Amino acid sequence: MTPTESVTPTESVPSAGHPSFRARWEETADRLLLAVRPYATERHAGIHLPGPPSVNGRRSDGLEGFARTFLLAAFRLAGARGADPHGLADWYARGLTAGVDPSGAERWPTFAECNQAKVEAASIAIALHETRPWIWDRLTDPTRARLLDWLGGMVGDTMPGNNWIWFQAITEAFSSTVGGPWRADDLERTIALTDQWYTGDGWYSDGLTGGAHRNYDHYNGWAMHFYPLWFCRILGEAAPPGRLDHYRERLRRFLDDHAHLVGANGSPLIQGRSLTYRFATLAPVWAGELFDATPYRPGLTRRLAGATLRHFLDRGAADENGLLTLGWHHPFPRIRQVYSGPASPYWASKGFAGLLLPADHPVWTAPEERLPVERGDFARTLAAPGWLVSGTARDGVVRVVNHGSDHADPARFASDDPVYARLAYSTHTAPEMPADPAGGPLDSTVTLLNEAGFAAHRRPLTRIRVRGGIGVSRSRAHWPADEEWDPFGGPETEYRTGPWITVASALRGAVEVRIARVDAAEPADGDRPLTLRFGGWALPVADAGSGWTRRDTVGARARVTGANGLVSSLVALRGLGRPLVRQHGDSNPLGPRSATPVLTSGGPVRFGEIYAAAAHLGDERLDLAALPALSLASEGGVATAPGTDIVTLDWPDGGHDTVRLPSVSDTTATSTESY
């Protein structure tokens, strides 16, 4: 639909010191809601925003626009206790009536016609629950009956084995409170599966892949923690005994980690799918306050929420018409998944759940507290996802080194998805997502280049050890047989396999010492001219002169100076003699030009040899004097198979790290300590 009126673009949220902090959140919600109205159908049942359609089609995309903005409208209306200066209740009630009219031109697709409608039903159910006195109770009896018929299509449905089960549970929970259809078996299945997916320390895997816990991303917070608590909120005293306390305790533990995964700039970790939902990452933060399930003092919640929302709105997440776009900051279409439509970014509505807190809640008035990364340097090991975490106060960057999560079936080769398979992610960098990724992965990798120059893929990885600031994992190098990239590694994709690559990381502050060994998987591997390549952090750059390489008595080095003031460096510590800087256009969500420092073995990789480099990301050039001395040994015996390499790192400050790279034949080395 063509816009029919001008809408003021969304303004950024002010600093937390603003005397009307809550009022400005309300104003921001209003601007987002008013901005979509010109794109609504005549009776408001569909909102058709500009942009490429999803694979689900136009009708589904229009329903998505209605449902996700209705969720925002519900938080706004309920938080104001029904005060409604913009007529939200009437506007969305009209859309509800039209959407469930079986003979109407704006009828919503049924669940049998469109799976995606199940996702949107959960947002509608939550919104109806929160606005019951102002919308549900005022709908006509025929409209309420039609709504329950539409929602009732979820009953008995076998949902996919991931966060989708909660769309069913939320929908049926609401239906049960207003006399609609529901089944106890559906709710019990959802609860049981969710418990299976819980891996401890506040972390859920979003379902199992190949029977394993490998799916870690922001869905942990904006789905797996958010929906179980809302399920209990909707059911009230009818909720299963003990469940509310159970989910509270899990969220409380997760939030302790969550605060350590946010940069001083307010950015969440740029990792995982559906990144275009942006400040939906605040969903578990607000749920912590709403359900008395947070370890934060109100001032920390306030700082975290305000900083995250400002991060996006100050960097162009809303366009000149006030619409949230498909991207991270500015529009970046390649960040979308096949299910992403023009209105998908409005799952960010979950980031406004805090409006349900009363106006006198301390969150709105407490003195702002600093984020963990603003208070000082820290290091954490997150056992469930298999991540090493480092935050540095000087530059405000949080880094994650990934040795445990890839969203892949461990029994099947797959092409690398940039948002899951990289070795490292951060709050200030984004993985490269080129339009033609057939050359294989580049940034934050250890990979092998075949004779044609194509890089091997990592998924599935095998976690070996993630403990005490040391991470070790292994994968078998593989290349798509037709050199084409399949982001989900479908069963129809054929791969050519190569050697084993064992990679270890020791993370200290802004520096990751990355160590690798390549072992032949088959005798024929020795006949192939394979080159080992380390890729550093990719940065958005201002121009082609942002890269630098050097080879001298110190060793090979490559460096990129980013447009954001950060520096990404790779320094060879052993066996990597050729430095490069690879530049790209329109391949990074953070800017139109980007560059990545690279080191390669130069000649063919030597099997069984140790290669090492220091990968650095910080606000200044890497001080070579701060790097550790590296020494090697091998060990055999009962606990460790012959051929295991021991790498000792002696840091200038007196610290020591001992890193073991077990041999490929050591089948006892794989870690299951997270589970």
**pLDDT (average), residues 296-301:** 98
**pLDDT (average), residues 426-451:** 95
pLDDT of 117: 98
Q: What confidence tens digit (pLDDT) does each residue in 98-114 have?
A: 999 999 999 999 999 99
Q: How confident is the model at residue 457 (pLDDT cuts 50, 70, 90)?
A: very high
pLDDT > 50? residue 672 = no
As a whole number of Å, the CA-based R_g of the chain is: 26
Q: What is the DSSP string of 497-547?
A: EEEEEEEEEEEETTEEEEEEEEE-SSGGGGGS--EEEEE---EE-SSGGGE
Identify any residues that bridge with 513 across adjacent strands, giving them in sequence order. Answer: 506, 614
Query: What would the two tokens of residue 535 be?
Result: 């890729």
d(CA 517, CA 662): 10
Query: What would the two tokens of residue 600 be?
Result: 């390669």
Q: From residue 212, how far is each of 183, 204, 404, 487, 538 by CA, in Å? A: 28, 12, 11, 20, 30
Q: How confident is the model at residue 668 (pLDDT cuts 50, 70, 90)?
A: low
For the beta carbon of residue 17, count every other beta carbon within 10 angstroms: 9
Residue type, 89: A
pLDDT > 90? residue 16 = no
pLDDT > 60? residue 88 = yes
**pLDDT (average), residues 134-139:** 98
pLDDT > 80? residue 10 = no
pLDDT > 50? residue 4 = no
pLDDT > 70? residue 638 = no
**pLDDT (average), residues 38-45:** 98
- Least confident among 374-378, 449-453, 607-611, 631-635: 631-635
- Do strands 495-508 and 511-519 pair parallel, antiparallel, or not at all (unpaired)? antiparallel
pLDDT of 671: 52
More confident residue, 375 or 12: 375
d(CA 16, CA 363): 10
d(CA 148, CA 341): 26
pLDDT > 70? residue 298 = yes
Q: How many residues does the chain have?
A: 675
pLDDT of 449: 97
Q: What confidence tens digit (pLDDT) does each residue in 353-367 have?
A: 999 999 999 999 999
pLDDT of 483: 57
pLDDT > 80? residue 7 = no
Helix (H, G, I), strand (E, B) or coil at 221: helix
Q: How confident is the model at residue 639 (pLDDT cuts 50, 70, 90)?
A: very low
d(CA 176, CA 157): 16
pLDDT > 70? residue 673 = no
**pLDDT (average), residues 495-522:** 97
For the beta carbon of residue 667, count every other beta carbon within 10 angstroms: 9
**pLDDT (average), residues 154-158:** 96
For the beta carbon of residue 114, count every other beta carbon within 10 angstroms: 17
Q: Which has the closest alpha carbon to 341: 61, 10, 657?
A: 61
Q: How confident is the model at residue 15 (pLDDT cuts 50, 70, 90)?
A: very low
Query: What single-letter DSSP state applies at residue 267?
Result: P
**pLDDT (average), residues 335-361:** 96
**pLDDT (average), residues 64-81:** 98
d(CA 564, CA 558): 18
pLDDT of 665: 80
Q: How confident is the model at residue 547 (pLDDT cuts 50, 70, 90)?
A: confident
pLDDT > 90? residue 2 = no
Q: Which has the closest alpha carbon to 309: 16, 7, 9, 8?
A: 16
pLDDT > 50? residue 165 = yes
**pLDDT (average), residues 11-28:** 69
Q: What confidence tens digit (pLDDT) does each residue in 550-563 have?
A: 887 778 999 999 99
Mean pLDDT score of the chain = 93
Asked whether the beta carbons of 41 and 62 are under 8 A apart, the reply is yes
Q: What confidence tens digit (pLDDT) does each residue in 563-614 have?
A: 999 999 999 999 999 999 999 999 999 999 999 999 999 899 999 999 999 9
pLDDT > 90? residue 228 = yes
pLDDT of 482: 77
More confident residue, 206 or 633: 206
